[in-house]
Amino acid sequence: MAQNFSLKDQLFNAEKTCFLAGLFADANPSFDAKAFEAQVMSRLLELELKERMAWIADCLQQAVPGELPTVAPTLLRALPPPLDPTKTDDDFGDFIFAPLGDWIVSVGLEHPDLALDVLEELTQRFSMEWAIRPFLNRYPDQVMARMELWCGHDSYHVRRLVSEGTRPRLPWGQAVGLELTDPLPLLDRLHSDPTRYVTRSVANHLNDITKKDPALVLDRLQEWSETGTQDRDELCWMTSHTLRGLVKAGHPGAMKMLGFDPEAEITASVQVKQEARIGGALEFDVSLNGAGDQPVLVDYIIHFQRPGGKTSAKVHKLKQATLRGGALSLTKKHKLKGNATTFKLVPGAHRLEIQVNGRVRASVDFDLLS
């Protein structure tokens, strides 16, 4: 059943199209809901997810023609009430409203003030981080000035748009011409936000920056720690979430910030318990020894065979723990799925490494059998 699951069909389908058509028919009696539904469904099922968004936007533009000043009143009247303002996380909204962002980009790039007003409303129904980026590229000063105001907005969805919309590596998002440092004054305000939905976005934004400038991120996190404007536990969570990529890479500065000593005198051994087969599991035991009771962050790295003789290393979490009496024993069972669509396993020689506090401390070779 899971193999037949289709995200695009769940998010964009006849039922969702009918719902959207009903909203616009209620907002404008001249809107032909049946014709709109028929046009959308004539091509929808043959398209991929992002293509479906663009196609629905095209159909809306044909059903409600004109530039943004003409269509904005109908669009705004069609919107349902904003998302529940009492929530603080995991309230992304209904994906069927994502095409409205594409529509705004198509008809609103010559009307930036009005477009920003409309996007402010839309993002309280569905996040508009993709739609804001074309405006950010064309009108960087104007959009950044508006984002300064949005940092203090009552809706956490609008505040999150500031961080998410300016991310350097936003998934599915158009690249933006900002310098890495340009949004930092905005993040300085948002990092102390009371909602996890916003602080997760800030952490993801900083994680993007770590791909190019780890020192910039470490310095900013240190500054935020010293200001003390965010709850200490939340800032610790943000720091850990921000540095997850650097931790996988064994970055010593990230390890130290999280309280783990990369230079600690720790020895490790690893033993594969039984033969590993595709469709089965890789089971192994790890033993650590060091001085006294000290915190350790333990990852394991599997070097997979790839078609053509190359290898691909993947880092996985094992345990965040403390050596007790200078010792720690761990056991892990890593499933080796044979039917995964994103990463196909190849039989042959593989390597397992144990990384402690960012340094590889032990390794063992094993054969993956078909």
What is the per-residue pLDDT across 172-196, written as a single tens digit (0 to 9) for each?
A: 999 999 999 999 999 999 999 999 9
CA atoms within 13 A on the CB side of 355: 22
Contact 282, 272 (CB under 8 A): yes
Q: Tokens in use for 122? A: 């839309």
What pLDDT score does 6 carry?
A: 84
- Enumerate long-range contacts of 73-79, CB under 8 Å, 24 or more apart: 74/24, 74/27, 74/28, 74/31, 75/27, 75/100, 75/103, 75/118, 76/118, 76/121, 77/26, 77/27, 77/28, 78/23, 78/24, 78/26, 78/27, 78/28, 79/23, 79/121, 79/122, 79/125
Distance separating alpha carbons of residues 254 and 259, to the nearest angstrom = 9
Q: How far is 80 from 63, CA to CA, in rounded Å?
A: 19
Q: Is-contact 275 307, C-beta < 8 A?
A: no
Comparing C-alpha atoms, which of 281, 260, 289 is closest to residue 332?
281
Is there a contact between 322 and 295 (Cβ–Cβ < 8 Å)? yes
What is the predicted pLDDT for the residue at 1? 36
Q: What is the pLDDT of residue 5?
A: 62
Q: Indicate the pTM of the whole model.
A: 0.90
Strand-pairing partners, residue 335, are 281
Its sign, for the CA torsion 101, 103, 106, 110, is negative
Report the C-alpha gap between 144 and 179 in whole angstroms: 13
pLDDT at 4: 57
> Which parts of the chain sit beneath pLDDT 70?
1-5
| Beta-bridge partner residues of 322 | 295
With pLDDT > 90 as the criterion, what percentage of the chain qualifies? 91
Cβ contact 191:204 at 8 Å? no
C-alpha–C-alpha distance, residues 216 and 330, integer Å: 35
**Domain 266-369, CATH:** 2.60.40.10
Select from 119, 129, 128, 165 the least CA-distant residue to 144.
165
Cβ contact 126:97 at 8 Å: yes
Q: What pLDDT score does 89 carry?
A: 80
User: Tokens at residue 150, please?
Assistant: 């949005």
Domain ranges for the chain, please list them: 2-257, 266-369
Checking DSSP bridges between strand 281-290 and strand 295-305, what pairing results, if any?
A: unpaired
Helices 68-78 and 14-27 cross at an angle (nearest 10°) of 110
Distance, in Å, from the CA atom of 152 to the CA atom of 157, rounded to the nearest integer, reads: 11
Instruction: Indicate if 266-369 has the same CATH topology as 2-257.
Output: no
The H or E element containing residue 331 is: strand 327-335
CATH 1.10.3720.10 for the 2-257 domain, yes or no: no
pLDDT value for 13: 96
What CA dihedral angle connects 42, 45, 51 and 52, to 10 degrees? 80
